[in-house]
Amino acid sequence: MADLYPIKVTVNGKLHQCSVQPRTHLVDFLREEMGLKGSHLGCEHGVCGACTVELNGQIVRGCLTLAVQADGGSVQTIEGVSKSGVIRDLQEAFVRRNALQCGFCTSGMLMATKELVEQMPDANRAEVRDWISGNYCRCTGYHAIVDAICDVLQQRKEAIA
């Protein structure tokens, strides 16, 4: 077994000093070492997007990122952004529109959506569909997810106006 590697990583605002195997993926570190089960493993090869988390302000695939790559960095997971309330409007819109069924994709979908609404406040329906194409949902057919996101884009625009 490989030697453990010490890392310092801020997870949801709190600094942790841990030792991890170099091969440990970020999402496994979060789920197994941090007990944060909200990021899910759907494919473990970077396709489905269920493990999407934020590393240093950018969304990444938790299954394609090594925990050691987060050394010195800051990670936000669905648990963190839920607690801080920054995506409460998105979460409420997802419930209101029934934009989730089984919920397995939802954490990753919301993390991807958080970045979308921050970076593209004027996104139209087609751009929303495009943006979330990195996140698979097998239940909803996407229509309701797109509705929910468009609702929030509109709400945030109206809040500024």
Residue ranges that bind another protein, judged by CB under 8 A: 1, 21, 31, 36-48, 50, 77-79, 82, 91, 94-96, 98, 100-107, 110, 126, 128-130, 132-133, 135-146
User: Quick one: 65 or 107, whose CB is closer to another protein?
Assistant: 107
Q: What is the closest distance, in whole angstroms, from the C-beta atom of residue 161 to another protein in the complex?
A: 26
User: Quick one: 32 or 72, whose CB is closer to another protein?
Assistant: 32
Q: Helices (DSSP H) in 3-124: which residue ranges?
A: 26-28, 78-84, 88-96, 106-119
DSSP 48: S
- Label residue 8 left, alpha or beta by phi (over 0 means left) and psi (-120 to 50 means alpha): beta
Q: What is the closest distance, in whole angstroms, from the C-beta atom of residue 20 to another protein in the complex?
A: 12
How far is it, in rounded angstroms, from Cα 48 to Cα 92? 23
Q: What is the closest distance, in whole angstroms, from the C-beta atom of residue 158 to another protein in the complex?
A: 21
Q: What is the closest distance, in whole angstroms, from the C-beta atom of residue 109 to another protein in the complex?
A: 9
User: Quick one: 72 or 118, whose CB is closer to another protein?
Assistant: 118
Q: How far, rounded to the nearest angstrom, does the alpha carbon of residue 7 sit from its chain's CA centroid?
A: 22
How far is it, in rounded angstroms, from Cα 46 to Cα 62? 8
